[in-house]
Structure 1
Amino acid sequence: MDSVWFRDERRPRGPRLTRERIVEAAVALLDAEGVDGFSMRRLAARLGAGTMSLYEYVAAKEDLLDLALDTAIAEVESVADPEAPWRDVLTRQLASSRQVMLRHPWIPALVGTRPLLGPGSLARSERIFAALDRAGLEGPELTAAVSAASGYVHGFVAEELAWRSRFRDPAAEAALRDRAEELLRGRDGDYPALAKHFRAGEADFDAGFTLGLSIVLDGIEARLTRR
């Protein structure tokens, strides 16, 4: 896979455009149109420039996607204290990752398909790896722990974004949830566990995310305790 991060490119200097301004506009276009609506032509129109002029600053559309993705990921807050407890580091950084992805809902569509090798991405990954390394994890266990935690966040946010995009009317959402609970109550003989425990009406994404993340981190902590 080719990527802008693998090349050492000279940046042209122009009176009007800069790579930084182009990347800023790319993030704004992705926020507005998503990955499917992103094109060099639309980006050039947003900048009031010719499409071909953009290629003086980047070699391809994919370069802009990489640069925009890294710029967005750089917004993730992290714990600067190198001695902070690992659980504090992961909780704060992963919760911030969710908020950044909600602001930039195109991130989940790119994060699994582009190399996360920009300075913003690497800095955030370094802090999580360093925190778990200090805690005592190493090798495949450390990598698996990071994958489990980040995978939980990405999966939760992808589902949350899909739900939010489908249900913009709170009344319609509440009506659907009520119907789902009524259906389960009527089939408690077939699905007793769901009828007993599943509560479709509980739609607090913030509380659900926090509780789920704590369960994932409990698993990492149990692994550390056994070691």
Structure 2
Amino acid sequence: MPARKKPPAAEAALIWERPEPANRPAPGPLSRDRIVRAAIALADKEGLASVSLRKVGAQLNAGPMRLYGYLSTKEELLELMVDVVYGEMASAGQLRGNWREVLRSIAQRTRQAARKHKWFIDLLGGRQHLGPNALAYSEASLAALSETPGFENIDDVLHAVRTVNAYVIGALLSEASELRAELESGMNETEWQNATWPYIQRMIATGRFPTLAKVVRDATHPSSDVRFDRGLDCVLDGIAVRLSR
């Protein structure tokens, strides 16, 4: 009888199916949930770069070696943190309405989550997140769209959701970059514009940038909220044209 093959190491090591250690009340109660909540609180307060097993352990009066009984790497901790945020997004309720309303809700929930947890956007855009909350939210998003007229083909559902998510991630990364620039320069948007305005005027006066001059003179320069909604409308209008074909 041939020997039974062991599962691949990566499969056996998935944090989502790995049991927690037996409960040990001393020197203090610990669980994955407490570890992740402490890491999220630290990231919300000090940024993602501040999160380490040592610092999270210090928040819980536990050494980092004790945390290794609950997770193996910092990457696993980040995945657990992301999954909690997906749980918060799902708790906003069922996605309802026509396809525009569903996709708009998906976009707005992601943006609201990124505003509450500014580090969240830095962990999006790579491989699909596979935690139970992330999978449940993906299932709810795809199911809500697939139940609307025009999205009977699952490929069309995937294309629409991925397109909206790509726009959202790009827009949120831009907003996050602007915020980081403010923090690093010590100037808000208005102060930065005032400081650079004389230079912009001199460059426009050369006559080499007529379209940029029109932007400065005639564009409305709306708030980030308005820009986000208008950009999302452009994406949804494009999906509508594709559906009409």
Contact 2:95 2:144 in 1 (8 A): no
Match 2:24 to one of 10, 14, 32? 14
Contact 1:177 1:201 in 2 (8 A): no
Match 1:192 to one of 204, 207, 210? 210
CA distance in 2: counterparts of 1:195 and 1:140, whole angstroms: 43
Structure 1 residues 85-104: aligned runs within 5 Å: 85-104=98-117
Change beyond 3 A, Cα 1:174–1:190: closer
Task: Give the superposed CA RMSD.
Answer: 2.8
Structure 1 residues 4-43: aligned runs within 5 Å: 5=14, 8-12=17-21, 13-15=23-25, 16-43=29-56
Q: Report the equivalent of 2:221.
A: 202
CA distance in 2: counterparts of 1:127 and 1:105, whole angstroms: 24
Q: How does the TM-score come out when normalised to structure 1?
A: 0.84
Change beyond 3 A, Cα 1:206–1:147: same
CA distance in 2: counterparts of 1:224 and 1:176, whole angstroms: 47
The count of aligned residue pairs is 224
Q: Report the equivalent of 1:172.
A: 191
CA distance in 2: counterparts of 1:47 and 1:62, whole angstroms: 19
Structure 2 unmatched runs, 5+ = 1-8
Structure 1 SS opposite 2:176: helix
1:109 aligns with 2:127: no
CA distance in 2: counterparts of 1:105 and 1:129, whole angstroms: 25
Give the fraction of aligned pairs with identical amino acids, expressed as a percent.
Answer: 34
Q: Report the equivalent of 1:151.
A: 166
Q: Report the equivalent of 1:46.
A: 59
**Greater mean deviation of Cα atoms: 213-222 or 177-186:** 177-186
Post-superposition offset of 1:219: 1.0
Q: How does the TM-score come out when normalised to structure 2?
A: 0.78
| Residue identity matched to 2:94 | A
Q: Report the equivalent of 2:6.
A: none
Match 2:156 to one of 141, 145, 157? 141
Post-superposition offset of 1:107: 1.7
Q: Report the equivalent of 2:175.
A: 160
Post-superposition offset of 1:50: 1.0
Post-superposition offset of 1:203: 5.3
Over alpha carbons, which structure has the higher Rg? 2
Structure 1 unmatched runs, 5+ = none
Change beyond 3 A, Cα 1:208–1:177: farther
1:218 aligns with 2:237: yes
CA distance in 2: counterparts of 1:73 and 1:10, whole angstroms: 21
Structure 2 SS opposite 1:116: coil
